[in-house]
Amino acid sequence: MLVLGIESSCDETGLALYDTDAGLLSHALHSQIAMHRDYGGVVPELASRDHIRRVLPLLEQVLDEAGRQRRDIDAIAFTQGPGLAGALLVGASVANALGFALGVPMLGVHHLEGHLLSPLLTADPPEFPFVALLVSGGHTQLMEVRGIGDYVLLGETLDDAAGEAFDKTAKLLGLGYPGGPEVSRLADFGVPGAFDLPRPMLHSGNLDFSFAGLKTAVLTQSRKLGNICEQDRANLARAFVDAIVDVLAAKSMAALKATGHKRLVVAGGVGANRQLRERLDEQARRRRATVSYPDLAFCTDNGAMIAFAGAMRLQAAPELGRRAYDYGVTPRWELSELRLPGR
């Protein structure tokens, strides 16, 4: 079965072709970072308009790279939510129009399920069950993953997501957008322990997170410093990264202990953070556990993860593919609500 995946939930347009026998055949991605950088964040209307411009050229690109024709497509998976409503509607409308023209079934995919399953696209995919740490600009969650469509929420952020905290800290430090990579690069030049920042909810006794207070602590410290020098900026970035990594790693290890699992999967844009990967690898080794990450190209939003998640769902429950070509999107959608038929 050849599945076309379309991702358009926010500021990246991604398309991919996944074959259930041959694996990932091709994928293409256009990032809108340069367009949104002048505004310091994503402008929804601009994002939607740019998706319209990019999606069909990217479709031709993935078909050419795979050596396939439109008529070879057996099913279409598109991001139904969560995300920006206008951006989601672009992908949904293209998927449904193409599905109608080709007479093939379509499936709306949960964006976070795509991230959750993206490490399965690696050469050495993890086996079920496992604990997943989803860390992105809009979400920070710990999930127990028992199989396709069988997810149990263990903990989540009560306010800012980890990625949001990175972006807001970057603004406070005068860094560019997106903030995560900029803060991490600056932190490499910082002195450990130069500033003492809080580790919110580190000892809360549950698996929830909170990062708004950490961002506020950075703001307070930067105001105390006044005209901040470059070394102080680096030290403050290092303190922030160390604090957020401490919390994410501790909660992830606690989730492994609570569930009894020995496999941790990390997904989402923050999963590309080098400091976080190093800490998780180190602590997992101590617990004789393993950590799996998606390839760096698939940490951020992409069409490959949507094509793959759609293919896995259609294999498990073919009746999920629909041929009714009315459509809608779900800008707010809890991952724990997903279930396969009969489960």
**pLDDT (tens digit per residue) in 1-50:** 999 999 999 999 999 999 999 999 999 999 999 999 888 889 999 999 99
pLDDT(342) > 70: no
Q: Is 111 annotated as a binding-site member?
A: yes
Listed by start position, the domains of the chain span 2-117+298-337, 127-293
Average pLDDT, the chain: 94
Q: Is 281 annotated as a binding-site member?
A: no
Query: Distance between CA atoms of 242 and 247, rounded to whole angstroms?
Result: 9
Q: Is 134 annotated as a binding-site member?
A: yes
Quickly state the pLDDT bin for 282 (edges 50, 70, 90). very high
Average pLDDT for 278-295: 96
Q: Is 115 annotated as a binding-site member?
A: yes
Give tens-digit pLDDT for 156-207. 999 999 999 999 999 999 998 888 899 999 999 999 999 999 999 999 999 9
Q: Is 273 annotated as a binding-site member?
A: yes
Contact 333, 79 (CB under 8 A): no
Fold of domain 2-117+298-337: Nucleotidyltransferase; domain 5 (3.30.420)
Please indicate whether the domains covering 2-117+298-337 and 127-293 agree at the CATH topology level. yes
Contact 259, 125 (CB under 8 A): no
Q: Is 46 annotated as a binding-site member?
A: no
76-88 per-residue burial string, b: 16 or more CB within 10 A, e: under 16: bbbbbbbbbbbbb
Q: Is 153 annotated as a binding-site member?
A: no
Task: Centre a 10 Å sphere on the Cβ of residue 32 and count the other Cβ atoms it contains.
Answer: 19
* Second-level CATH architecture of 127-293: 2-Layer Sandwich (3.30)
Q: Is 167 annotated as a binding-site member?
A: yes
Helix (H, G, I), strand (E, B), or coil: what is residue 265? strand
Give tens-digit pLDDT for 309-334. 999 999 999 988 888 878 889 999 98
Rounded to two decimals, what is the model's pTM? 0.93
Q: Is 135 annotated as a binding-site member?
A: yes
Helix (H, G, I), strand (E, B), or coil: what is residue 290? strand
pLDDT(241) > 70: yes
